[in-house]
């Protein structure tokens, strides 16, 4: 049995897309996954599975979430090894870019093709830059960007299906679940 982490996109953003973490745990367990845990109410889930295919796990979860909620919940799954690597990249980038105002990590459903990768990295401005490593895109925002603005570079729209977490959550989850 292997351990996976799933990140749900676009939940708990308003009154119509509510999905409390207790309900998430229940649905994941009902879908056949074991040892289900959640972290805060933003769609971070840890579970064990006998399935090995990331695509199959994502499809199983997305179908279960849609049945339970009545709306689509894009779901992005990582093995613990993959997620540990994203955490390692976050630490390396933070060390190489001291003094950041914010560091968000966009968790990607699929790796970017060469054109999308180039477009994302070319969006760098004085506000910051986006560095892509595998299925993690790191938004490194410098002091002076407009506080509260998650995508001041306008690069996130080029990432495909993705959800973001701040670097503190990434580090916490690596320590807690990996």
pLDDT on residue 11: 87
CA distance 60 to 103: 31
Closest CA to 165 of 39, 57, 64, 53: 39
Whether the CA torsion 16, 11, 132, 144 is positive or negative: it is positive
Q: Checking DSSP bridges between strand 136-141 and strand 75-79, what pairing results, if any?
A: unpaired
What DSSP character marks residue 146?
-
CA distance 29 to 15: 25
- Let me know whether 86 and 173 are in one domain: yes
Q: Which domain holds residue 154?
A: 81-177
Strands of the 44-49 sheet, one edge to the other: 34-39, 44-49, 2-8, 75-79
Count up the domains in the chain and report the number. Answer: 2
pLDDT in single tens digits along all 178 residues of the chain: 999 999 999 887 778 888 999 999 999 999 999 999 999 988 999 999 999 999 999 999 999 999 999 999 999 999 999 999 999 999 999 999 999 999 999 999 999 999 999 999 999 988 899 999 999 999 999 998 776 676 778 888 899 999 999 999 999 999 999 9
Q: What is the pLDDT of residues 78-126, one digit of tens each?
A: 999 999 999 999 999 999 999 999 999 999 999 999 999 999 999 998 8
CA distance 67 to 77: 19
- Let me know whether 54 and 91 are in one domain: no
Query: Cβ(163)–Cβ(137) under 8 Å?
Result: no
CA distance 50 to 40: 25
- Let me know whether 61 and 45 are in one domain: yes
pLDDT on residue 60: 98
Write out the two tokens for 166. 């701040």
Query: Cβ(136)–Cβ(108) under 8 Å?
Result: yes
- Let me know whether 38 and 111 are in one domain: no
- Let me know whether 66 and 137 are in one domain: no
CATH number for 12: 3.30.70.1280
79, 107, 128: which is the final residue of a domain?
A: 79
């Amino acid at each position: 049995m292997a351990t996976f982490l799933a990140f749900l996109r676009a939940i708990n953003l308003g009154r119509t897309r509510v999905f409390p973490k207790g309900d998430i745990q229940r649905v994941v367990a009902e879908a056949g996954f074991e040892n289900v845990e959640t972290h805060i109410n933003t769609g971070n889930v840890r579970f064990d599975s006998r399935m090995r295919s990331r695509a199959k796990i994502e499809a199983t979860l997305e179908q279960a979430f849609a049945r339970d909620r009545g709306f689509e919940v894009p779901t992005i799954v990582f093995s613990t090894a993959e997620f540990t690597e994203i955490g390692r990249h976050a630490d390396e980038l933070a060390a190489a870019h001291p003094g950041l105002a914010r560091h968000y990590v966009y968790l990607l459903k699929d790796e970017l093709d060469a054109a999308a990768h180039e477009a994302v990295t070319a969006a760098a401005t004085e506000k910051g830059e986006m560095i892509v490593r595998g299925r993690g895109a790191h938004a490194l925002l410098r002091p002076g960007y407009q506080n509260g603005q998650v995508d001041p570079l306008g690069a996130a729209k080029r990432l495909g299906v993705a959800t973001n977490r701040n670097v503190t959550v990434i580090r916490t989850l690596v320590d807690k679940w990996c």
